[in-house]
Amino acid sequence: MLFGKKEKDSKVNDVIWMTETAKWNGIIQEWKKDNHLSLICWFDSTLQHAESLFSRETTSPVSIFLASQVHPTLVTGSKILFAEHYPLYEKEINLFRKLSIQEVTVHSAMDEPLFLRFGGEKIIQLMKQMGMKEDQSVQHKMISGAISKAQDKIARKVISESLSHSPAEWLEKNVRNSL
């Protein structure tokens, strides 16, 4: 649009954990508070892990979807959580728009492949030095901004995207050279 209003991006609330174990415990606790939420995963490996964890926690049905297969009618009226960031910001935003999400919560961990690319180990050490416990999360708009900048940096290194089973495989296949 030349003079029209720019489409407003969804508000992303990042919940950052020190470890993936703590992240999954946090997601399960959030589901226990509101079992009508929908969990969306970007990668098959994440979906399989989530299904395995929830099968040990409950016999009740849990709404877990693969991002490429979720349809707006499946998540209408439920709180939506994402179990991870997609490495490319634009792809995330496009799905948020497709699902008509104004505000979204994304759970991430510093020991996930995306964060390890950007010094996650050092941040874990800093969090520990500050007295944080593994079961505590951090949330701040500066963190969300840093994540989107990291996604933009990754996007500049991707020539042609190859789909992958896991975040680590995606980074291996798609990101050329060092960041």
Domain boundaries, the chain: 11-174
pLDDT digits 0-9 by tens, 91-117: 999 999 999 988 899 999 989 988 888
pLDDT digits 0-9 by tens, 137-148: 988 888 888 888
Q: Which helix (H) or strand (E) holds 39?
A: strand 38-41
Mean pLDDT score of the chain: 88
Residue 108, C-beta contacts closer than 8 angstroms, at least 6 positions apart: 14, 15, 16, 17, 23, 84, 85, 114, 115, 147
Specify the fold of 11-174: Rossmann fold (3.40.50)
pLDDT digits 0-9 by tens, 19-45: 999 999 999 999 999 988 999 999 999
Mean pLDDT of 144-154: 87
Mean pLDDT of 2-29: 82
First to last CA, the chain: 33
The pTM of the full predicted model, rounded to 2 decimals, is: 0.87
